[in-house]
Structures are given as C-alpha cells and as structure tokens.
Amino acid sequence: MAAMILLTGQIYLAVGALVALPFLVVGLGRIDENAQNTWVFRPMLIPGVLLIWPLVLWRWIVLETGRADEPARHRPPLTWQPRLTLTLAVLLPFLIFAALVIRQDGPFERPAVQLEDGL
Amino acid sequence: MNQSQDEPFFIGWAAPPDLLRPFLAGVALGLLLLAGVFAYLVSATQDDPGDGAFMGRAVAHGVLQTDPYPVLHVVESERYEPGTPLILSGNGKIGVRDRASKVDGQYVRAAGTKLERGDLSGLQLANGMNGLRPADGAIPQIETDDLGRWRLTGEICDGKCLIGAMRPGRGLAHKACANLCLAGDVPPVFVATDKVDGSEFFLLANADGQSLGDTMMDYTAIFIEAEGRVEKRGNLNIFFIEEDTVKVIR
C-alpha cells in the first residue's frame, strides 16, 4: 500500500514536471503580459507548479481560450455560503448528539464469571 | 448613496438603533445561557476521572518480579503497607523492564514518585541507581494462588496513567495515550466491572504468562469481555488473557 502511494506521488510529480516545462517557457508569457521577457523568477515557480499542475493547466487553458470571467471567480463561494452555513448548523449538532448516542457506555456492573476452579 | 472622497469609510462602533437594543440584549443573554448549558451538558457526560494522583516522593524495599511486567512486592516502606504490590514505570511513557531484569527476583531498593488510585499502587522510578538498585535484606516467599479461569468484563488501561499519572487515565479519550504507554512497555492493567478475590484491578499477561506486546492495542480503552486464568501473586491479581476470547461489548 505504501509503495502504491509512493508510486502515485511520483507519477503525479512527473506529470507536473511535464506541465511545468512548457508552461514556464512558453505559457506564462502568453497568459500574463507582466511576465513577458522576464525569466529569472520562473525557476522559482517550478516546485509550486509540480504540486498544483492540474490547476495551472486548467487556468492556462481558460486564459488561453479567452473564456476567463474574472468576476465569476469570486462568486461561487458567496453563492454557496448560506447553504453551507445551514448545512453545518444542522450537521454539527447532529454529529455531536449521534456520537453521544452511539458511544460505548458501560456495562459498569457486569459480574465476573468463574469458568473453572483453580488448581 | 454617494460618499465624498474626504469622508472616512470606517464608521467606528456605531450605537445600535433603539429598536434593536432589546433584541441584542436578548441575544447576548441567550448566548451566555447557551454557553453555560452547553458546558454543563459536555461536562455531565464525562466520566469521573477518579482519585488517582501523583503522591510525592517514596522509597520502598522489597522483592522485584519482572514477568510479565516489573512489579515490586513491598517488604518495608514508610509510604506503603508491607505486601503492597507496586506497578513500576519510568519517566514518561516507558517501562523499566531493562533495569528491572538485572535485579529480577532480588531484594531491591526502589525510589521515585508514588502513584495511587484506590487500592492500586505504583511507583514512577527515578533515573539510574537512585531509582532502582539491589539492597540487603531477606527475600520473602511471594505466595502464588491459582484462582481459576474467569470471564471478565472491563477495560485495558496502562498501569501508569490509570494509577494517577493522568486524569482521566482511562476511557476512550485516553486511548491514544494508553497505547503509547503500552508501546513503551508500561504495564497494562485490566479494570474489571466486578471483583475477583477482593480486587477489580488485574495486571495483564498473555495466556503464556508473557507480556502482551502490541497485540491488544485495538482493545484498549473500551469495554471488552475476555476469558483467561487469574492468579494471585502476593496481593496482586494477574489476568492471563486469552486473546482469541476477547470481544468488544456492544
């Protein structure tokens, strides 16, 4: 199991490296005009890209294809907040009381039973 | 509403409208009441941690037995009655098997911090020779009495926290700590729901009379039922737990 987890992590980071190379050499300058013709800082982004390469890839595609709707990025958390608050308000007390109900409570008075006499 | 550039945005702590004052006072009082009720409900559902505690420095002379776990049978002490069995532990979450095995079966002087919970006593040994060393004295015979085979219900605890090193030293909240202590070879103690030969506390051993190792860690700190032979060694009950009979009580 541990070897499986390790292998999965290695594959994930290897794919991240494959994403980081074209993104930092070509993509970054195309989606951010402030990054054009600046190179020294780009190697510093390599560890970050290795870790969050699916997000990097997704944002690269969105910005490259012109589908980016910047204000929309801030809307989803706000629209979900009331529902999330209500859900937590119901769920948390439920979890606490469920834990109190199903937790083991005794037996405190069960008698000891002698199965065989001593030698 | 337009706001001029010179007007500060921050409004400070504005006084609440008169209409809202009773409502806000009600909410504030309600929250205070709710906090009190919640605190009471949480504390009322907790088990009593008992009267176990560290009881200060202590020195005892007696006979040391290492198997299944180090126990000192007191012969002479100002802080313990003669015949009291002391569950021995080291500083932190470690046992003292290495040190004890060098003086197994001998008359020794043990010093450290006294632990006591009801009629169960222990000693957290001081470091090095100050804590445990051979002494001069006659070695009395430790009586062994086979009490038969029993089915007991209770909880596996570690024999340091239970006796007073922690409060609570038993129960689910203490499970991780108990397992760390057992992994460090602190003697495990079975606290039964009923007494056998006058005691509800049992030092644990496996069916072969050896230490448990890490075989029972899934069963610590919860109520279980188990079968095994019980032996009285000196004034200490030992439960030779048969691992294949262990059942969690639902």
**B191 in contact with A at a CB cutoff of 8 Å?**
no
| A25/A39 same-domain check | yes
What is the CATH architecture of B144-248? Answer: Beta Barrel (2.40)
| A81/A61 same-domain check | no
CB A118 within 8 A of CB B148: yes
- Residue B2 pLDDT: 53
Question: Is A97 a member of any domain?
Answer: yes
Which residues in chain B are closer than 8 Å to A100, comparing Cβ atoms? 45
* DSSP tag of A50: H
| A6/A62 same-domain check | yes
| A40/A84 same-domain check | no
Q: How far apart are CA A81 and CA B168, in angstroms?
A: 39
Which residues in chain B are closer than 8 Å to A89, comparing Cβ atoms? none
Q: Using a cut of 0.90, tell me whether the model's pTM lies above it.
A: no
- The alpha carbon of residue A1 is apart from the nearest alpha carbon of chain B, in Å, by 21
Confidence check on the interface: ipTM exceeds 0.85, yes or no: no
| A21/A52 same-domain check | yes
- The alpha carbon of residue B227 is apart from the nearest alpha carbon of chain A, in Å, by 9
- The alpha carbon of residue A77 is apart from the nearest alpha carbon of chain B, in Å, by 25
| A53/A81 same-domain check | no
Q: Which of these, B161, B175, B155, B156, lies nearest to B122 by C-alpha position?
A: B161
CB B186 within 8 A of CB B224: no
| A64/A78 same-domain check | no
Put simply, the answer to whether B194 touches A109 (Cβ < 8 Å) is yes
Question: Is A58 a member of any domain?
Answer: yes
Put simply, the answer to whether B148 touches A100 (Cβ < 8 Å) is no
Q: Which of A45, A68, A91 is the last residue of a domain?
A: A68
Q: Report the number of distinct structural domains present in chain A.
A: 2
- The alpha carbon of residue B247 is apart from the nearest alpha carbon of chain A, in Å, by 13
Put simply, the answer to whether A115 touches B151 (Cβ < 8 Å) is yes
Q: Which of A24, A48, A68 is the last residue of a domain?
A: A68
Domain limits at A26?
2-68
Indicate the residue of B145, B149, B249 with minimum beta-carbon distance to A115: B149
The residue of A102, A109, A113 whose CB has the most chain B CBs within 10 angstroms, and thus the best one to mutate to test that interface, is A113
Stretch A30-46: mean pLDDT, rounded? 93
Question: Is A10 a member of any domain?
Answer: yes
Residue spans per domain, chain B: 53-134, 144-248
- Which pLDDT tens digit goes with each residue over B123-133? 999 999 999 99
Lowest mean pLDDT among A48-57, A108-117, B109-118, B230-239: A108-117
Q: List the structure tokens of A74.
A: 């801030």
CB B152 within 8 A of CB B225: yes
